[in-house]
Amino acid sequence: MRLTPRTHVPRWLTPLLAVLALGLTLALTAGPIRLAGANPSAAFNYYLLRPLTSTYSILEVLLAAIPLMFTGLAALVAFRSGYYNIGGEGQFIAGAIAATAIAAFLPGLPALVALPLALAGGALAGALWGLVPALLRVRRGIDEVVTTLLLNPVALLLVQGLLNGPWRNPETGFPESAPLPTAYQLPRLIPGARLHAGIIVALLIALAIWITLRHTALGLESRAVGLSPHAAAFSGIRVERTMLKGALTSAAIAGVGGASQVMGLQHRLTGEVSLGFGYTGIIVATLAALIVPAAIAAAVLIATITVGAESAARALQLPPQMGRVMTATLLLVTVCIVLFRRYRIVGWRRILRRRT
């Protein structure tokens, strides 16, 4: 039995593999769920189906999906350019810090100016946070995985330092910033629900990325560089420049995500502004096979699981961390199964015949 590369991918294969991935994930997580004393099918119901049944919970799911859309798109852009940006977490936090800082220094601006300004500040901060690793990679060939990774805890320490020090809320004394002026709060889209305009920003960014990748020369060049840097260089594309652009764009998007999170959800900066969104973004991008619309869908899927896990915790006494276990399992199962898209197993028929 061997793996040989496929020449042609049948249309029915991809949806089949997606279903298979999900099924395998459920099968693998059923055991631990049972051991934890809960009924697996009840759990799956809470995780995957119930969140989508009521308007309220759908809105909560979309709300939870917003930061994942940003970090997922950030990872997508980077990976597409062949640059492994694992620093989305830190870039996200940097963006949140920048938005808070702008709000603190320019509190009197009207919303029309404040909102774009703070979001742009988030983008800039994210890009700056990702600048050093990107330059080290492009100029010196230093692996970006380690450098981006190490800046994540530094970002967390930075936000903690600010919140424990100069930005500590004077009224409550807690390590959280003062509330943002109203002008800097992203408007809610639906009265009574927490869903905020950040989702529109995320979707606009998604659209911009999609258009760029498909309809601009830069997009085509980036794709070429990410797929076959050698052939791209042969065709006259400037590989280093293209990769740098991808790296910085990615970091900027993550930064906007952080800004959006501060301005849309909590309306103040806290140490928990990111709950591992940067890393989950990598899962989102990988599940989506680096396809933009799929990334939005993947973000919603993971948000569904996250929201569902919370309600399952209350109803079934099942710890909500199972949501993260399920998401990580889904990732690993998916990357294994995706192999079947590229390779065929040769000889399995022969083995079956021998056995029967």
Footprint on this chain of another protein (rule: CB under 8 A): 7-8, 32, 36, 84, 86, 132, 136, 140-143, 145-147, 149-154, 157-158, 160-161, 164-165, 211, 215-217, 219-221, 223-224, 227-228, 230-237, 276, 279-280, 282-283, 286, 319-322, 324-325, 327-329, 331-332, 335-336, 339
Strand runs (DSSP E) across the chain, as ranges? 2-5, 343-346
- Give the residue with the Cβ less far from another protein, 86 or 262: 86
Q: At what angle do helices 292-316 and 277-287 cross, to 10 degrees?
A: 120
Residue 95: CB minimum distance to another protein, A: 18
User: In terms of DSSP bridges, do strands 2-5 and 343-346 run parallel, antiparallel, or are they unpaired?
Assistant: antiparallel
- 47 contact partners, CB below 8 Å, separation of at least 6: 304, 305, 308, 309, 312, 322, 323, 326
Q: Of 206 and 237, which has the nearer Cβ to another protein?
A: 237
Name 348's Cβ contacts closer than 8 Å, sequence gap at least 6: 1
Nearer to another protein, 102 or 283 (CB): 283
CB of 291 to another protein, least distance (A): 12
Q: Which two tokens stand for residue 43?
A: 């759990």
Residue 167 CB, nearest distance to another protein (Å)?
11
Nearest distance, CB of residue 302 and another protein, angstroms: 11
Closest distance of CB 280 from another protein, Å: 8
Q: Which residues have a Cβ under 8 Å from the Cβ of 98 and sit 6 or more positions away?
A: 118, 121, 122, 124, 125, 126, 255, 258, 259
- Identify whether the C-beta of residue 160 lies closer than 8 Å to the C-beta of residue 27: no
Residue with tokens 């996200």: 92
Q: Is 59 exposed, middle or buried (0-12, 13-18, 19+ CB in 10 A)?
A: middle
Judged by beta carbon, residue 10 or residue 110, the one nearer another protein is 10
Residue 263 DSSP symbol:
I
Give how far Cα 148 sits from Cα of 131, 236, 245, Å.
10, 29, 16
| Nearest residue to 164 (alpha-carbon basis) of 270, 31, 306, 9 | 270
**Min CB(297)–another protein separation in Å:** 19
Closest listed residue to residue 328, CA positions, set 297, 312, 305: 305
| CB nearer to another protein: pick between 115 and 298 | 298
- Please tell me the distance from the alpha carbon of residue 5 to that of residue 8, in angstroms, as a whole number: 9
For residues 264 and 323, which CB has a smaller minimum distance to another protein in the complex?
A: 323
Nearer to another protein, 91 or 260 (CB): 91
The CB-of-265 to another protein minimum distance in angstroms stands at 22
Are the C-beta atoms of 327 and 302 separated by less than 8 Å?
A: yes
Q: Which is nearer to another protein, 230 or 349 (CB)?
A: 230
Report the residue number, 11 or 353, with the smaller CB distance to another protein: 11
